[in-house]
Amino acid sequence: MNAPRYVRPSWTDALFNRLPYALARLGFSVYGTRILAVRGRRSGTWRTAVVNLLDHDGARYLVSPRGETQWVRNLRAAGGGELRLGRRCESFVAREIADGDKPAVLRAYLRRWRFEGKAFFAGLAADPSDADLLRVARDYPVFRLTAAS
């Protein structure tokens, strides 16, 4: 079995991500950005990352275009976290969806953030088929979010 896919951010990616992170802290969302806060799986301290929140068919999703990132691993362990935008903070419970359920969500993600498609979804056509999306689904963790009670 292959190692989980992970695309490490370059120094330019890290530099570029500072802008949407800073804007989200101030309360401005760029294309659905939020600050994801989740407890670290080992330390238990809050860890944050800027993410794209996808609204699709009445549900909310987080997709990791970089694959098995630290926030993905922490979210799996914690089972939930917070989405922050300015002073607003929403607690949520996360459930990772099965690979077979990912094509529609991945397609919606690709349509919404088309500019990321070439960098993180290399080898896929502009409008990939379900078969193509199923072929790569294991490389892209997807979580469905529900409000924490």
Residue range 26-40, pLDDT digits in tens: 999 988 999 999 999
Q: What is the pLDDT of residues 71-99, one digit of tens each?
A: 999 999 999 999 999 999 999 999 999 99
| Percent of the chain topping pLDDT 90 | 78
- Distance, CA of 77 to CA of 1 (rounded, Å): 22
Q: Which residues on adjacent β-strands are paired with residue 52?
A: 33
* CB 65 within 8 Å of CB 108: no
* CB 94 within 8 Å of CB 75: yes
Q: Which of 90, 85, 137, 84 is nearest to 110 (CA)?
A: 137
- Rounded alpha-carbon distances, angstroms, from residue 56 to 61, 75, 102, 108, 120: 7, 20, 12, 7, 20
Number of H helices, E strands in the chain: 5, 6
Q: Which of 92, 20, 5, 12 is nearest to 51 (CA)?
A: 20
Query: Residue 14 is which amino acid?
Result: A
Q: What is the pLDDT of residues 98-141, one digit of tens each?
A: 999 999 999 999 999 887 767 888 888 778 999 999 999 999 99
